[in-house]
Amino acid sequence: MRALCVLLVLLMALLSVRAFHPDDVQREANLQCHVCNASYYCLGGQQFDCPANSLAGVDFADNIAECVCNPGYLREGHLCNLGQPPAWYMHGVNETCVSTRETIAAGASGHQDCVCVPGFVGLPVPEAVHCQSVDRPQP
């Protein structure tokens, strides 16, 4: 890892417009390079927290936009806010339930959180609930 840091410093020096001095390599080589942790993004050699309710969605995240909202949360700007019914939320994006179904609780994170809307009853089918209209007796 240290060799990678030294190569990076040399490359930066070659690309810079400032004069390069051999002592700079030793000073720069004393810096330690670290992998950016999962709940952070790294920019300019510093590590920053991803916003609350999110994690870096890629290895070596280098900006806040690479922080992905946890399931059940909606991205609004750089924040991840608790998703609200009638949708469910994955990776910061709202998804809709199929017709005749909706979510009823905040923070829904998948189709399994969808329930039948009023006037319909659910019949379990693999990985979903099929909602059928409730036949009401005529007065």
Q: Which residue has the higher pLDDT, 11 or 121?
A: 121
Architecture of the domain made up of 70-130: Ribbon (2.10)
The answer to whether the beta carbons of residues 19 and 4 sit under 8 Å apart is no
11-20, 35-44, 64-73 — which one is most confidently predicted on average?
Answer: 64-73
pTM of the model: 0.66
CA-closest candidate to residue 122, choices 106, 95, 101: 101
What residue segments make up the domains of the chain, in order of their start?
Answer: 1-33, 34-69, 70-130
pLDDT digits (tens, 9 = 90+) for 70-110: 999 999 999 999 999 999 999 999 999 988 889 999 999 99
